[in-house]
């Protein structure tokens, strides 16, 4: 059994009305109450119903994660809050654009590693590449780490998108 004081990481999916200020409410809730945000992504996912989906990766004790979900449910324009971590198996992916500027052996090595990670080159100049890498957060982290000594100059990440396995919607 896990200890009450253990810090757990949870991925939470939130369905919200796509109206001005909703994101500010969610972020304000986290900053105002001192909760962690490790990753947050948001985009409209249902144009007919005008709904957006927010995916939040957060961490805290069991009691705090429970609070976070209940506090989110209190917000009026929030329709659904699901804890993907506890509700069953789920898959999650992140995309990163990674810029590497180098030449010679380092440039070749970066291409080789990109190949192993199945990252695509989406921009290249004589002295740089931009790689597009997709995967679980850990995989993206590992790719960026490997690029560091090879001339890493810039990274842009989308944050986590996550969804439950199986046939059912949120």
Partner 1 sequence: MAQHDAQMTGAEILLKALVDQGVEVIFGYPGGVVLPIYDELFKQNRLRHILVRHEQAAVHAAEGYARSTGRVGCVLVTSGPGATNTITGLTDALMDSVPLVCITGQVPTHLIGNDAFQEADIVGITRPCTKHNYLVKKPDDLARTVHEAFHVAKSGRPGPVVIDLPKDVITGRGEYQPPSRMKTKYKPQVKGDLKAIEKAVEMIAAAKKPIFYVGGGVVNSGVAACQLLTQLVRMTGYPCTQTLMGLGAFPASDPLSVGMLGMHGTYEANLAMHGADLIINVGARFDDRITGRLKDFAPNAKKIHIDIDPSSINKNVMVDHAVVGDCAHILEDMIKVWKAKQCRPHEKALKEWWAIIDGWRGRNCLHYENSNKIIKPQYAIQRLYELTKYKNPYITTEVGQHQMWAAQHFKFEQPCHWMTSGGLGTMGYGLPAAMGVQVAHPNALVIDIAGESSIQMNIQEMATLCQHRLPVKVFILNNQYMGMVRQWQELIHGGRYAESHMEHHPDFVKLADAFGAVGLRATKPGEVDDVIKEMISVDRPVIVDVRTDASENCFPMIMPGMAHNEMVLGPEENVKVEPGSDEGGMVLV
CB hemisphere CA count around 18 (13 angstroms): 12
Q: Does 34 bind partner 1 (CB under 8 A)?
A: no
Distance in angstroms (rounded) separating the CA atoms of residues 36 and 5? 16
Q: Does 1 bind partner 1 (CB under 8 A)?
A: no
Contact of 11 with 162, CB cutoff 8 Å? yes
Contact of 118 with 101, CB cutoff 8 Å? no
We find the least distance from the C-beta atom of residue 32 to partner 1, in angstroms, to be: 5
Looking at the Cβ atoms of 63 and 153, the one nearer to partner 1 is 63
Contact of 98 with 160, CB cutoff 8 Å? no
Q: Does 4 bind partner 1 (CB under 8 A)?
A: yes
We find the least distance from the C-beta atom of residue 33 to partner 1, in angstroms, to be: 9
In this chain, which of 7, 43, 63, 108 binds partner 1, going by CB under 8 A? 63
DSSP letter (8 states) at residue 94 = E
Footprint of partner 1 (CB under 8 A):
4, 17, 20-21, 24-25, 28, 32, 63, 66-67, 70-71, 73-76, 79
């Amino acid at each position: 059994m896990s200890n009450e004081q253990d810090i757990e990481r949870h991925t939470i999916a939130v369905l919200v009305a796509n109206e001005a200020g909703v994101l500010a409410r969610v972020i304000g809730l986290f900053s105002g109450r001192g909760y962690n945000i490790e990753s947050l992504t948001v985009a409209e996912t249902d144009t007919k119903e005008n709904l957006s989906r927010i995916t939040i990766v957060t961490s805290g004790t069991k009691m705090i994660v429970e609070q976070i979900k209940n506090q989110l449910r209190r917000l009026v324009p929030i329709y659904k809050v699901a804890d993907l971590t506890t509700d069953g198996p789920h898959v999650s992916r992140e995309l990163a654009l990674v810029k590497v500027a180098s030449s010679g052996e380092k440039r070749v090595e970066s291409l080789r590693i990109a190949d192993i990670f199945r990252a695509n080159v989406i921009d290249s100049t004589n002295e740089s590449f931009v790689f597009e890498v997709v995967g679980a957060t850990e995989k993206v982290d590992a790719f960026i780490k490997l690029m560091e000594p090879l001339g890493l100059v810039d990274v842009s990440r989308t944050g986590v998108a996550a969804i439950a396995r199986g046939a059912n919607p949120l």
